[in-house]
Chain A
């Protein structure tokens, strides 16, 4: 593992024009990723995490405006790269696994065709090589009788199998970065753990960097090296996984952590929390802390610019008007009651 990041994102902003005004879907987020590292991006639906991943892949529609101070993958500026250059990266060096295995495979072609296409598209493999690699990978992702699966169509496979195929497809060219957008959400609970385990094992084996997008902090706790928590298009807290789970600083992160039982952290018998309120509209002018409408500690100052606090030593930072993120107030059980 080198220290040079393979992916650097600074100040990424995504604006979507809508009928009623511009939707500021992602506002000034940044992170970086070294080879072999796993970044977990956490947030509820609508927080902009999937948009961020599509922006990295260059898959956003042309009406959507993407800006950033830096968005670099291994020295290539992803924003200014030509369509052709992006195509060369996609699938070959950056691969993506989507949330919906049921609809993410083309119903008109066989599994084999679609797997091999991922490789032959990039021009450096013969059909025979691609076929061999596809069968290898199908076996690697735990699909039995891989040869016969090659000639099957997506509708003949279960959701779990399809997601394994999607993973194999992402690995066809041996990418340096893999982006997994809620890869287990659409699957049965029993399958979820298997797929996640598989993803992590393969990542280790191939030495890829991975961005795992999820709304499930439990998943992040198990696999990610570092975490980025997003709320309503902002990065509210980011840092090493250990640091964030030990000392969650932003009120939203603490709220999220109260919503899930964590092994060794949540005592038996305690009630799980909820975060009251709804996500604010991001259409039009958005300023101040987006979480203030749901935050138990909100003050008028939350409407102004919000400073970023960074813990010394570790690269753990969060955005809040309070340098402690009101951690002391949340520790008293009464305030938890009050916010519910």
Chain B
């Protein structure tokens, strides 16, 4: 188990390093930050001065390694637009995004897992068909459009929920739904498939032969085994979700990291964008790493093997 964790951790670090390098290179290659920083009316001398001031004239690898070294110390440079350290900007904005991500994944799990279980208990029943419909439709629903529909329905027409901001828990309801529904189809399908497979296994028959009630068979014996792959998926989805928070936060004007990313990209605020890409990647890497460890711990065959 320890060996597995160490090996997995090594892989995570290597992935993180590669991601940071690729995203740095991408942005390095795709434009001249000095020119955009100097603005439309700047002269060539201005641009050159800025290039020297920020060290953009150095070779890419040198710039990358100095950026990485700083990043490892928690220094992501200064935001071009806010004129504040990117690190403190992130620390502030990430709170909203983390909260939103947690709400989103909880919403997805709390709806998709029970639906998947019900669908598996009665394959081809009305519930199963409803779940299938929901998963097919859910995958096709553009999140930004879904968010706007909710605003039209619940904020404009019914006036039940506020359309933007983060002041109260009510502000989080629609963003949670919009962020969470995207993960539902995959989680539902995996739960349903896993339950169907487990329910036809021999040990479920053994549990019934012992005289276990259907509820006990479903939850203690079947779900416990079927849920293991769902844990991994939820972690992956959580990682994707934080990436997707950019859409949700821009629709509902939640001032989180996603919103910051949108603003910063629009304003060519390179240090902030680079830091955000790295941070979102790190979230994904950490979540999948934790999920793999949790998985190994949940599955006795891996824990004791």
Contacts and interface: CB of A to CB of B under 8 A. Distances in A.
Do A and B contact each other directly (Cβ–Cβ < 8 Å)? yes
Interface in A97-123: 98, 100, 103-110, 117-118, 121-122
Given A108-B224, A108-B225, A153-B301, A98 B208 contact: no
A57 B209 contact: yes
Interface in B207-225: 207-214, 216, 221, 224-225
A307 B185 CA distance: 59
Contacts, number: 73
Nearest to A99: B202
A135 B304 CA distance: 22
Nearest to A113: B220
Given A107-B225, A107-B300, A153-B300, A100 B210 contact: no
A152 to B, nearest CB: 8
Interface string A141-172: 00000000000010110000000001001000
B206 A98 contact: yes
Contacts of A67: none
How big is chain A's contact interface, by range? 20 to 34
Contacts of B305: 155
Interface in A76-94: 83, 87-92
B224 A90 contact: no
Interface in B19-59: none
Nearest to B207: A106
Contacts of A91: 209-212
Contacts of B209: 57, 59, 90-91, 95-96, 98
B301 A104 contact: no
B297 to A, nearest CB: 12
B96 to A, nearest CB: 37
Contact of B210 (A107, A118, A153): A118
The residue among B206, B221, B300 with the most chain A CB atoms within 10 A of its own CB is B206
B202 A98 contact: yes
Contact of A103 (B203, B210, B213): B203
B170 interface: no
Given A108-B300, A155-B300, A121 B210 contact: yes
Interface string A208-242: 00000000000000000000000000000000000
Interface in B173-207: 201-203, 205-207
A107 B206 contact: no
Given A153-B301, A155-B301, A104 B212 contact: no
The 10 closest A-B pairs by CB, nearest first: A91-B211, A91-B210, A90-B211, A153-B300, A103-B202, A106-B203, A104-B202, A96-B209, A118-B210, A87-B211
Interface of B: 201-203, 205-214, 216, 221, 224-225, 298-301, 304-305
